[in-house]
Chains A and B, each alone.
Chain A
Amino acid sequence: MIAKVLLTIWMTVIIVAAFLYADAAVGFPGETSRILFFHVPQAWVATLSFLLSMIASCVYLARRNLKADYLALSAAELGLLFCLLATASGSIFAKAAWGSFWNWDPRQTSIVILLMIYGAYFALRSAVGDPEKRRVFAAVYSILAFVTVPFLVFVVPRITASLHPEDTMNPAKPGMDPKTLKVFLGSLLAYTGLFIWILRLRLRLLNLEGMQEPEFVVTEKMDLEGEKQ
């Protein structure tokens, strides 16, 4: 509970600092560079979610642990959600900086492909009726889907000419304003905390739903009967 209250306060502080403490970066129209404090952490959380989904899928395939499948599903859901948020916030920046919400820039194109790949993950899950098969297919698909993530997020936009800002706003490159760097790192932390909070809620919900499933009830009954004997 304390962690959640602290996160709520921390995120509020970061939002205020993003607008009032950090200075707008030079070379961007007006105050548009402030999108950095929201857009990049959203993309970071999306990548983290897809990675977690892939790891959980590997664990499920190795151990057939239901909780690993729940984790893979929840992480993929949140990955898709944050990927959509990053796309939307990126489009707002594109409108202000490049004149149009959508330009088919390599970054925009690669994120659309990523959205379609992970959209298909949920289509696959809803298309297979048998729960066991569904979990196995989804786990295999999640692993294969993640193979494309490094290429679509890091490689493709860097080997092609893009309007996307890199040098000015990339924290890995020297020259980022110390105030901006502080708020940016704080924002990364806040978004990661928010991701963990929502992920845990989703996992608890999936656990509750799982308890209602017929196969769980049958297994539970068998366990109880076994204990009685």
Chain B
Amino acid sequence: MKEGLNFVLGVNLIIWSGLAFYLFILDRKIKKLEETSTARRK
């Protein structure tokens, strides 16, 4: 059972790492868009 538990833990960690990485990338992209938009409005 413990082996199965470790597998589920691994899958959970991979999903979470992927999601966190995606959110950081998204954050950076939105920041760039905001900067471009502010520059255009000026």
B12 touching A201, Cβ below 8 Å:
no
Q: Which residues in window 1-42 of B have CB below 8 A to A? A: 1, 4-6, 8-9, 12-13, 16-17, 20, 23-24, 26-27, 30, 33-34, 37, 41
The total of Cβ contacts below 8 Å across the A-B interface reads: 41
Q: Which of A9-17, A61-69, A145-153, A165-173 contacts B (4 or more CB under 8 A)?
A: A9-17
For A11, list chain B residues within 8 Å (CB). 16, 20
How far apart are the CA atoms of A205 and B30 in the complex, in Å? 7
B13 contacts across to A, CB distance below 8 A: 12, 15-16
**A133 interfacial contact with B, CB 8 Å:** no
Distance A205 CA – B1 CA, assembled complex (angstroms): 44
Chain A residues near B12 (CB, 8 Å)? 15, 19
Q: How long is the Cα–Cα vector from A31 to B1 in the complex, in angstroms?
A: 8
Minimum distance in angstroms from A228 CB to a CB of chain B: 15
Whether A208 contacts B9 by the Cβ 8 Å rule is no
Interface size range on A against B: 10 to 19
A185 within 8 A of B: no
Q: Which residues of B contact A211 (CB under 8 A)?
A: 37, 41
User: Does B27 lie within 8 Å of A201, measured CB to CB?
Assistant: yes
For A144, the chain B residues whose CB sits under 8 A away are none
Q: How far is the CB of A189 from chain B (nearest CB, A)?
A: 15
Are B20 and A8 within 8 A (Cβ)? Answer: yes
Residues of B within 8 A of A175 (CB): none
Closest to B30 in A: A204
Minimal Cβ-Cβ distance residue in B for A220: B41
From B5, B17, B20, B33, give the contact of A31 (CB < 8 A).
B5
Q: Cβ of A123 < 8 Å from any Cβ of B? A: no
Q: Per-residue 0/1 for A189-228: is the Cβ within 8 Å of any B Cβ (1 yes, 0 no)?
A: 0000000011001001100100100000000100000000
Known contacts A19-B9, A31-B5, A208-B30; is-contact A12 B16 (Cβ 8 Å): yes
Chain B nearest CB from A49 CB (Å) reads: 17
Q: Are B27 and A4 in contact (CB under 8 A)?
A: yes
- How many Å lie between the Cα of A176 and that of B15 in the bound state? 28
Q: Are B30's CB and A15's CB within 8 A?
A: no
**Would you list 11 pairs from A and B whose C-beta atoms are within 8 A, ordered by A residue?**
A4-B27, A8-B20, A11-B16, A12-B16, A15-B16, A16-B9, A204-B30, A204-B34, A205-B30, A211-B37, A220-B41
